[in-house]
Amino acid sequence: MSNLLKDFEVDAKNPSLEARKRWRSSVSIVKNRARRFRMISNLETLAENDKKRCQIQEKIRVAFYVQKAALQFIDAGARTEYKLTDEVKQAGFYVEADELASMVRNHDTKSLKSNGGAEGIAQKVSVSVSEGVRSSELHIREKIFGANRYAEKPARSFFTFVWEALQDVTLIILMVCAVVSIGVGVATEGFPKGMYDGTGILLSIILVVMVTAISDYRQSLQFRDLDREKKKINIQVTRDGNRQEVSIDDLVVGDVVHLSIGDRVPADGIFISGYNLEIDESSLSGESEPSHVTKEKPFLLSGTKVQNGSAKMLVTTVGMRTEWGKLMETLSEGGEDETPLQVKLNGVATIIGKIGLGFAVLTFVVLCIRFVIDKATSGSITEWSSEDALALLDYFAIAVTIIVVAVPEGLPLAVTLSLAFAMKQLMRDRALVRHLSACETMGSSTCICTDKTGTLTTNHMVVNKVWICENVKERQEENFQMNLSEQVKNLLIQAIFQNTGSEVVKDKEGKTQILGSPTERAILEFGLLLGGDVETQRREHKILKIEPFNSDKKKMSVLTSHSGGSVRAFCKGASEIVLKMCEKVVDSNGESVPLSEEKIAKISEVIEEFASEALRTLCLVYTDLDEAPSGDLPDGGYTLVAVVGIKDPVRPGVREAVQTCQNAGITVRMVTGDNLSTAKAIAKECGILTAGGVAIEGSTFRNLPPHEMRAILPKIQVMARSLPLDKHTLVNNLRKIGEVVAVTGDGTNDAPALHESDIGLAMGIAGTEVAKENADVIIMDDNFATIVNVARWGRAVYINIQKFVQFQLTVNVVALIINFVSACITGSAPLTAVQLLWVNMIMDTLGALALATEPPNEGLMKRQPIGRTASFITRAMWRNIIGQSIYQLIVLGILNFSGKQILNLEGPDSTAVLNTIIFNSFVFCQVFNEVNSREIEKINVFKGMFNSWVFVAVMAATVGFQVIIVEFLGAFASTVPLSWQHWILCIVIGSISMILAVGLKCIPVESNSHHDGYELLPSGPSDSA
């Protein structure tokens, strides 16, 4: 089978265009192309989108570089005049929305200056830069300036899916056959008897179409919910004088937005204040070089990203008036990238479809030949009636219906159904899957490279210990007994409040709230406990320059000027790095004294002691300067004020989650910026660092020769003091040795590693928008246990599809052979077109619903991951398919050829009773085989069955409707009511397949691996040795 599917292979992530074209061109037999490829990306649309995007980016680039230059020479009098409308005046505003949009879009600095700069624009849109927009004004601002929402393609209605389901070529042919059958039937047999056969086919088609449309529509609703979640982005704003978080959809003109590294600029606006603001405009203009935004170059455009620094921005243009809005409107959706399973099952469907088409043609030819021979032998070869035409039409309808059953259109669609169901469940479990293939690939992951902070730990940090003036002070409940001199205390408070990227604000209830990263919040909270006041510090000192925290340098610095005119630089960061920058230390009197080698050794011991207690250590230092430096802040000559130890407790349940991964054959590696001792302590507490495992520093790892790196890679469990580049190098090398790597990330600099990995996992709370956009899955609660849940569902998707494939292939084989053999021998097919359509619905839509949506069981996490090259249809599956098929063919064959004698059926309706028994037995064989398919290897198929309400509902509906078809719809379905004895016989014939399944599962077929491609884990000392 693998040789036949060589054209149906694509990479799970970033598949090549050649591979995507190859498998599409190899799909030759498709009943309904619109439905089969509905969820698959359209390569022509994608190419068209890329072309449009390039054109728009070129247009914007011209605006950036030509218009800006041209505007310098345009006389103010030649500019477009915007007249205020009465509506704008009555609303209390003094500028038109189009004027604001034009000014920012064209980077018109002259127009901005003539309007009084950012402050002047704020006045014209009736807002205070310090207080922000009033909540009571939101409605009127949306009415005048527009909402921050983009034009979206309208959702597809239910009737669209009905129409799409009707595009099935085989169903269209059957409809034509049904109409002809009704016409000929009424002419020959009269009304209403002549209508029954054709009407039965039409009713069956309507039922198939409606069930298909309902299933597809529900699936589209699930994807719509997921898309809505993907687009949810929150941003910090000042409103009603308070700092608060709002959705970008709720932004209005006049909002004061707070931007930080990794944020996406949510609307067009003007820079108010900030530090070192660098904007990545590549998504809008295609330019790779970052743009520096200052008061001289103050324009910010929606859709761009903050690469460095922080700022406050005044929103001037929202929604469809922005260039980003126009770009979003122009690009039509291209669909989702296909997943490897979808592609593989398209291949399986194509191969089986070709076989089915051959059988259908042969069946029709054989039936026609037998019909002609019978007429010849009866001497009526020259006499043809409308009844003969009706018989040939029936043969043609049966052949077409065989194609309906034989082409397993539901195989690739079942993958989408299963993934949609899994993604919906994962969203409830706080994991947002951005790409379909990620959910599938996660089932194959062999390694998870995880961050520490917020993922393994609670992300609720507190300063637990402080070293200052050669003494260690420990937190006592909510207080510190510091006993410091006033000079030392003032220095410590300055070092805390001056050098911070966070803010202390009041919420709506007037309570103090600290905004910023968990580390910053912990240090500011410590400063507040010491009695520090943010406003006082900001009044007494003016910030001249900020160098934000950098994950490469692992420190943050700030330059301030005092009221007396002196200049002071503060720095904080990784203890061993910042300690090397110090030449002095503060003594108990607040004086700077030289830092001797002996003192450095003692402080290093304190740092090591803190780290061994799983505390994150930071040094707070300062230095006085004669004048403000023109370039970077100094890297030496500092005075050490304090060493703080910050506690971040391990999340409850993490140790158990790590153990679950290890039981599942998934190696967990912790990659952190903390020092080695802290990292090892946390890793041991989580159960990550085990005997024989290696803990290594990023600097050591990156300097290893290639052969040593390859040798140590499998043993690495902890990487400390790592840079984003180290994480990228680790991921890249792990993939080279065959690992399927999942990696977590939250910062902007994690984007390359997230993109390089097989599955990128971004943090929903701590993660930046840049990290999220480069991720495949967003862990919305930042919890490691949620990552394990994604892996569990990934494995469930894989095995559920295997169950469905086993079930469907069994039905395919039996339906094809029984109809073909019967046609060859008896000249008639035991299963009519209506009956085959019902069987097709059981095995296709209903079968997919029942088997492809089963929740995961704990047994899935006790096996090794699926190998990249594992065969999808395993030997165990072939064993079950062949065994069940042989049993059903033998039983149905005996009934077909000797049923009347065995069951003592006599009378004019004996043939109709026998055919009904064959049909009923066949359906019950599928019902019981569907239960068998819940477990491919295990004997107990009932375990957890009632936990899946979808499975139970489908089984009940199938049996219930089968009773209705047999007992009440005989005129349309060519059945007759059966006696209770015959019903019991049909049920017993079906149930024997369960006993057979037990026997089949006792036949060994695979020694090393489990039925679903998972390697079994060692279960005892002898195995592990």
Contacts of 119 (CB under 8 A, 6+ apart): 129
Cβ(9)–Cβ(344) below 8 Å: yes
User: Above 50 in pLDDT, residue 1025?
Assistant: no
| Positions marked active-site | 451
Residue 586 parent element (H or E): strand 582-586
pLDDT given at position 351: 87
pLDDT given at position 704: 92
pLDDT band with cut points at 50, 70 and 90 for residue 1022: very low
User: Above 90 in pLDDT, residue 215?
Assistant: no
pLDDT given at position 15: 82
Cis amide linkage into residue 1004, ω under 30° from 0: no
User: Above 50 in pLDDT, residue 86?
Assistant: yes
Identify any residues that bridge with 719 across adjacent strands, giving them in sequence order: 671, 696
The mean-pLDDT minimum among 63-77, 190-204, 785-799, 806-820 falls in 63-77
* 608-617 CB burial, b ≥16 within 10 A, e <16: bbbbeebbbb
How many helices (H) and strands (E) would you count in the chain? Answer: 39, 28
Q: Which of 81, 98, 131 is nearest to 241 (CA)?
A: 131
Three-class secondary structure of residue 366 per DSSP: helix
Mean per-residue pLDDT for 879-904? Answer: 92
> Taking phi first (over 0 means left), then psi (-120 to 50 degrees means alpha), and beta for anything else, what does residue 637 get?
left
Compare 740 and 477 and report the one with higher pLDDT: 740
User: Above 90 in pLDDT, residue 956?
Assistant: yes
d(CA 227, CA 244): 25
pLDDT band with cut points at 50, 70 and 90 for residue 1019: very low
Compare 290 and 829 and report the one with higher pLDDT: 290
SS (H, E, C) 179-211: HHHHHHHHHHHCCCHHHHHHHHHHHHHHHHHHH
Q: What is the pLDDT of residues 34-65, one digit of tens each?
A: 877 877 777 777 777 778 777 777 776 776 66
pLDDT given at position 1023: 36
Q: Which of 12-26, 44-58, 402-416, 979-993 has the highest mean pLDDT?
A: 979-993
Mean per-residue pLDDT for 772-776? Answer: 89
Q: Which of 599, 559, 560 is nearest to 579 (CA)?
A: 599
In total, the chain counts a number of residues equal to 1025
Tokens linked to 42: 């359209």
User: Above 50 in pLDDT, residue 1021?
Assistant: no
Mean per-residue pLDDT for 182-207? Answer: 81
* 765-795 CB burial, b ≥16 within 10 A, e <16: ebbbbbbbbbbbbbbbbbbbbbbbbbbbbbb
The mean-pLDDT minimum among 165-169, 337-341, 810-814, 922-926 falls in 337-341
pLDDT given at position 334: 54
Mean per-residue pLDDT for 268-276? Answer: 90
pLDDT given at position 335: 60
Q: Which of 678, 714, 716 is nearest to 696 (CA)?
A: 716
d(CA 688, CA 682): 9
Q: What is the pLDDT of residues 502-561, one digit of tens each?
A: 777 776 677 777 877 888 889 998 998 888 888 888 788 888 888 888 777 889 999 998
Cβ(247)–Cβ(287) below 8 Å: no
Q: What is the pLDDT of residues 696-714, one digit of tens each?
A: 999 999 999 999 999 999 9
Tokens 């059957």 sit on residue: 174
User: Above 90 in pLDDT, residue 630?
Assistant: no
Q: What is the pLDDT of residues 713-735, one digit of tens each?
A: 999 999 998 888 899 999 999 99
Three-class secondary structure of residue 582 per DSSP: strand
Cβ(639)–Cβ(623) below 8 Å: yes
User: Above 50 in pLDDT, residue 75?
Assistant: no
pLDDT given at position 128: 92
135 backbone dihedrals φ, ψ, rounded to 5°:
-60, -30
Tokens 């006082």 sit on residue: 536
The mean-pLDDT minimum among 197-201, 891-895, 933-937 falls in 197-201
pLDDT band with cut points at 50, 70 and 90 for residue 466: very high
The mean-pLDDT minimum among 514-523, 566-575, 1003-1012 falls in 1003-1012
d(CA 665, CA 539): 57
Q: pTM, whole model, 2 decimals?
A: 0.83
Angle separating helix axes 654-663 and 784-826, nearest 10 degrees: 40
Cβ(59)–Cβ(105) below 8 Å: no
Mean per-residue pLDDT for 138-154? Answer: 87
Q: What is the pLDDT of residues 651-694, one digit of tens each?
A: 889 999 999 999 999 999 999 988 899 999 999 999 999 998 99
pLDDT given at position 2: 63
pLDDT band with cut points at 50, 70 and 90 for residue 244: confident
CB count in 10 Å sphere of residue 98: 13
Question: Helices marked H in 133-195 — which ranges?
Answer: 138-145, 158-165, 169-189
pLDDT given at position 268: 94
User: Above 80 in pLDDT, residue 280?
Assistant: yes
pLDDT given at position 66: 59
d(CA 512, CA 525): 10
Contacts of 445 (CB under 8 A, 6+ apart): 666, 740, 741, 742, 758, 759, 791, 794, 865
Residue 130 parent element (H or E): none
Q: For strands 667-671 and 716-720, give the pairing.
A: parallel
Question: Helices marked H in 737-859 — which ranges?
Answer: 751-756, 769-773, 784-826, 833-841, 847-851
Cβ(653)–Cβ(645) below 8 Å: no
d(CA 199, CA 179): 8
What does the DSSP 8-state code read for residue 750? G
Cβ(1015)–Cβ(863) below 8 Å: yes
Distance of CA 917 to the CA centre of its chain: 47
Q: What is the pLDDT of residues 835-863, one digit of tens each?
A: 888 888 887 788 888 998 888 988 889 88
Tokens linked to 199: 């009407």
User: Above 80 in pLDDT, residue 203?
Assistant: yes
Q: What is the pLDDT of residues 327-375, one digit of tens each?
A: 776 665 556 678 888 888 888 888 888 888 888 888 888 888 888 888 8
d(CA 918, CA 986): 8
CB count in 10 Å sphere of residue 632: 9
pLDDT over 90, % of the chain: 36
Cβ(623)–Cβ(568) below 8 Å: yes
User: Above 80 in pLDDT, residue 934?
Assistant: yes
CB count in 10 Å sphere of residue 929: 26
